[in-house]
Structure 1
């Protein structure tokens, strides 16, 4: 890799380690093992770095991504002691709009300039007017953060790839209707592929607007004969599924992204999110060598 090319950091999303970071001892041990595996950064969720409402814990548990009870811990100190960089802070748009000063202060505390909107709850991505209003809200929030020295990124799931009545997807409409100077992207390749989109094509289309990358491989652990030819896909460790992991990371390097962020949502090896992360870390170290 030429010395002029800054490679992305190898990072992990906090939600993967939520259930094994409920106490300070657990969090310290977990972060130490991640660093030993080669992770250099972590992406934090605002609602996991402060006391987490019961409804949020319940909803994430139902979704198979439990956040654990670590919201009361001192995460700025924990990640600093572990030697990890905070590559971004996830926040919902409502919090960004109603408590921007608090979000700015938290970013300063964590030493990050990236704030990520993780999609909308109870939102109709098939409603063109609603999508247009969302694009306007994002642009306003992005410009406000730019004045604070921060950058706002939008993170996709699957709902953004719904078709609009006029043609095209809500994702494409959001990107077209937001100011590229105000809104960047954190592209989640797993969810894009699950929705039927091609992550490599999206990277080619949006180029340097994509500043962070979420990566989880997609496949199955099924072995032996199956009752029918249909096997359900799920998140799996990098290199064990059929997502184009190698060329995706090559594009991330070429675009000089800040971080490639692992987020294996569930379906972990032996039920262990940490063991799963360590296996994926082998691939990240190979593709993003020190």
Structure 2
């Protein structure tokens, strides 16, 4: 697989060089030609408009490839992924699992490939199923992580349950803040479709958590999937939204998750609305389990290339 990706990269480089040569000749021969379109300018990628320091990737993209084990083979696949991401230009990753490694071992692996953990998805519990937050905070300290939170909220049934969950998160967030870290909430679609007395579950989470204790990682795909305009959320909640999960939506194939740049989400407008206040733009593509046509490495590479051509 690594050889195939290397060959693909070489072929793409040859193609880009050939296209560039043709465009150059065309421009020389037609001084009065119309200026290039936005799409052409983006494909030329003139300058980095989102700093590499702000670009990350959720390793869940590679969940099927890496696997869920804790054995040496799983850890070897994890290392291969980190190596490939570093070669693509990534400087940050967002883990969802340590694959059986200790925090010290995982940190050493990141250091080896010049990577940092921008944030982390880890189970932070619920009011009825608490976890050892102190242990998570210690792991985060070793890993060098500031932002952390569960990969998703529970799909609760009542307003009272959502309020209790928000209050629980606020307490966890206060504990994190005192340790120099920040709890984040990552959404799916139900936080917007579950409505109680005129308020969505997302609104309740905002209302019952202190901005000092809890921030939000807005998943742009799931918000769009739920029929919510991400720009409206940004305008309403401002700097409480500090991270984006950047994944696209295919409007024709059952609105499935799509490789960034191939769908119909208007990322440029969303990023402009955020006004540069986003700490990390995190590429993600949920695995298409069992679909051999999906290449997570391709999704990662195209996502990185796309973000480096967009204005923060």
TM-score, structure 1 as length reference: 0.79
Residues 120 and 109 of structure 1: CA distance in aligned 2, closer, same or farther (over 3 Å): same
The equivalent residue for 1:109 is: 142
Of the three residues 298, 303, 311, the one matched with 1:275 is 298
For structure 1, which runs of at least 5 residues remain unmatched after alignment? 52-69, 223-230
Superposed displacement of residue 118, structure 1: 2.8
Of the three residues 93, 97, 109, the one matched with 1:42 is 93
Q: Assess if the C-alpha contact under 8 Å between 2:260 and 2:299 holds in 1.
A: no
* Counterpart Cα distance in 1 of 2:116 and 2:141: 13
Residues 25 and 132 of structure 1: CA distance in aligned 2, closer, same or farther (over 3 Å): closer
Give CA-to-partner distance per residue, 1:7-36, whole Å, 9 cap, x none. 861110011122333534433332222122
Q: CA RMSD in A?
A: 2.7
Q: Assess if the C-alpha contact under 8 Å between 2:125 and 2:131 holds in 1.
A: yes
The equivalent residue for 2:280 is: 259
Superposed displacement of residue 216, structure 1: 0.3
The structure with more radius of gyration: 2
* Counterpart Cα distance in 2 of 1:163 and 1:87: 30
The equivalent residue for 1:249 is: 271
Residues 80 and 194 of structure 1: CA distance in aligned 2, closer, same or farther (over 3 Å): same
Give CA-to-partner distance per residue, 1:130-189, whole Å, 9 cap, x none. 111111111111111111111111111111112434112111111012111111111111
Of the three residues 114, 117, 122, the one matched with 1:86 is 117
Are 2:173 and 1:142 aligned?
yes
Q: Assess if the C-alpha contact under 8 Å between 1:97 and 1:141 holds in 2.
A: no
Give CA-to-partner distance per residue, 1:241-285, whole Å, 9 cap, x none. 100111223344x24322100111135893211112112221012
* Counterpart Cα distance in 2 of 1:161 and 1:288: 27
Report the 3-state secondary structure (helix = DSSP H, G, I; strand = E; otherwise coil) of the residue aligned with 1:94: coil
* Counterpart Cα distance in 2 of 1:283 and 1:34: 15
The equivalent residue for 2:106 is: 75
TM-score, structure 2 as length reference: 0.73
* Counterpart Cα distance in 2 of 1:17 and 1:186: 20
Report the 3-state secondary structure (helix = DSSP H, G, I; strand = E; otherwise coil) of the residue aligned with 1:49: coil
The equivalent residue for 2:64 is: 19
* Counterpart Cα distance in 1 of 2:294 and 2:136: 33
Report the 3-state secondary structure (helix = DSSP H, G, I; strand = E; otherwise coil) of the residue aligned with 1:286: coil
For structure 2, which runs of at least 5 residues remain unmatched after alignment? 1-49, 68-72
